[in-house]
Amino acid sequence: MLNVNNSNICRKLSYCLRLIQLSISDYVELLLKSLFITGTDTDVGKTYVTAGLAVSLRKMNVDVGIMKPFAAGTAQKTGFKSEDVEILARAAHVNDPEMLLNPQFFPIAASPYTALKNLKIKPNVKLVLNRFKKLSKLHSMLLIEGMGGIMTPILKNYFVTDLIKDMKIETIIVTRTKVGTVNHTIMTCKMCEKYKIPVKGIIINNFDADGYRVKELKRDLEDLTTFPVLGSIPFIDDMSDASLYRVFKKNLDFKFLQS
Ligand SMILES: Nc1ncnc2c1ncn2[C@@H]1O[C@H](COP(=O)(O)OP(=O)(O)OP(=O)(O)O)[C@@H](O)[C@H]1O
Ligand SMILES: [Mg+2]
């Protein structure tokens, strides 16, 4: 009789522990709220927007880390190989090693997939996910800058969408005002929906001299997609902390971080 009761208690206790363990890890994941900053294309302003977010979060006393999983281009002679990583690390004031901030750098201005084809350097997704996990433990939240757009190929059947899915984080879409952007933004949003990637919203990087008026673009994008426009960033000519913080605080409603 006593034995039966004991084994029942043990079963119940182990069930409770499993429940507690699950909720603790869920809670930690919720707290992290890392964000993947993607865009409608290359050169749309992902680095500028990520840098502005990093400075703003730091000024709000958030321990923010940054990551550029795959970077490409001409390696810088000093500092980090990737100029994007240099800008982001400076904005976030992080001292993490390059192997965590940017696990793979390809000396070619192209996608990781093209690097594989042209240079025979295999994009190492497992390594990137491993380093992402390590970096996540060092900061309260991470801002991860993507490469190119949402369907930039990494491997034959593995795109930026797959990387975001594997990281299990939310995304922000950076778009611009140049004519043609509505088409690119809708396609980006549709792919996020197809891959079931949670989208926090869209940030309009209003740095083109001509193009749509922000107010009208915001109206149309909110009408045509299911995601909110979180704000618009004007042309930035001063990348100092003070300037970035001023611009981002004025033009972005940071309440989106709380939801
Ligand atoms: N808000 C802005 N104000 C002024 N210039 C900007 C702004 N946003 C982008 N730019 C200009 O556009 C260039 C490309 O921006 P950025 O490097 O942020 O693009 P990206 O999306 O990160 O590109 P990549 O795909 O190569 O990472 C910058 O070097 C800068 O000259
Ligand atoms: Mg960039």
For the chain, the structural domain boundaries read: 1-31, 33-258
Task: Say whether pLDDT at 28 is over 90.
Answer: no
- For residue range 75-117, what is the model confidence (pLDDT) as tens digits? 999 999 999 999 999 999 999 999 999 999 999 999 999 999 9
- Copy the structure tokens of residue 152: 């930039």
Q: Check if the beta carbon of residue 40 is closer than 8 Å to that of residue 185.
A: yes
pLDDT at residue 11, rounded to an integer:
58
CB of 47 sitting under 6 A from ligand 1 = yes
pLDDT at residue 1, rounded to an integer:
41
CB of 39 sitting under 6 A from ligand 1 = yes
For residue 138, the one-letter residue type is: L
- Copy the structure tokens of residue 238: 């001063």
- Provide the terminal-to-terminal Cα distance of the chain, rounded to the nearest Å: 51
Task: Say whether pLDDT at 17 is over 90.
Answer: no
Global confidence as pTM: 0.89
- For residue range 141-177, what is the model confidence (pLDDT) as tens digits? 999 999 999 999 999 999 999 999 999 999 999 999 9
Distance from the alpha carbon of residue 89 to the mean position of ligand 1, in angstroms: 16
CA angle 119, 40, 246 (to 5 degrees): 110
Task: Say whether pLDDT at 190 is over 60.
Answer: yes
3 state SS of 17: helix
Distance from the alpha carbon of residue 207 to the mean position of ligand 1, in angstroms: 9
DSSP string, 112-127: HHHHHHHH-PPP-HHH
Instruction: Tell which CATH classification among 3.30.200.20, 3.40.640.10, 3.40.50.300, 1.20.58.1910 matches the domain 33-258.
Output: 3.40.50.300
pLDDT at residue 256, rounded to an integer:
82
- Tell me how far apart the alpha carbons of residues 86 and 76 are, in angstroms, rounded to a whole number: 9
CB of 71 sitting under 6 A from ligand 1 = no
Q: What whole-number percentage of the chain has pLDDT above 70?
A: 88
What is the DSSP secondary structure assignment for residue 224, as one 8-state letter? H
pLDDT at residue 176, rounded to an integer:
98
Task: Say whether pLDDT at 2 is over 50.
Answer: no
More confident residue, 7 or 110: 110
Confidence of residue 27 (pLDDT cuts 50, 70, 90): very low
Q: Check if the beta carbon of residue 48 is closer than 8 Å to that of residue 65.
A: no
